[in-house]
Amino acid sequence: MQPSISNHFSTDRGRRSSCCSHCDHSSSNPATIVNEFEPQALSLTPPLENVYFKEQNQPFSCIYLLNLFLAPDMTRYLAETSISDDVYALPVHLQTLICEARMEVLVSKQKNHPLEGNAIKRLEKVREYIKSIALNDTAAIISTLSELIRDDDEMSIILEQ
């Protein structure tokens, strides 16, 4: 019998990983830990409830979007504030809408033309929808925004109306 060739999949008994088709499974114990670091990793890993918080305990991370919809004049807010990093955590279609609306405002301001932006109108539709549901209650606005961010279908329905 030839000695087993040691590789990075081998254990101290010379047995290869269970994913190998040439293993001797007759002597292997299914409870045997193949990776020698596994017990240490398991003891150091916190339970999942300590890593992932329930959604209602998470802080609202879309501050720019919230401020945009709470601003009395959305076009002025878009013109006078720069886009913050939290916008880039939003779904792509919402990022694009905000960036397009901001560009429309900046271009119209630069050229002294009246604002005829399509993106601004779509953003206003979303704002009006949120106001109709939340009735100017900030907590309800946050909740509604969170739902819209998660539900692409609802957002597309609002924008098509």
pLDDT score recorded for residue 155 = 83
Is residue 26 located within the same domain as residue 68?
A: no
Cα separation, 158 vs 81, in Å, equals: 25
Prediction pTM value: 0.59
Domain that holds residue 123: 55-160
Is residue 39 located within the same domain as residue 65?
A: no
Query: Which tokens sit at 63?
Result: 């501050």
In a domain, 50, yes or no: no
Better-scored residue on pLDDT, 7 or 157: 157
Residue 23 and residue 16 in contact, taking contact as beta carbons nearer than 8 Å = yes
Residue 158 and residue 94 in contact, taking contact as beta carbons nearer than 8 Å = no
Better-scored residue on pLDDT, 144 or 1: 144
Cα separation, 73 vs 34, in Å, equals: 62
Average pLDDT over residues 31-51: 54
pLDDT category at 58 given cuts 50, 70, 90 is low
At residue 11's C-alpha, the angle toward residues 8 and 15, to 5°, is 100
pLDDT score recorded for residue 34 = 55
pLDDT category at 60 given cuts 50, 70, 90 is low
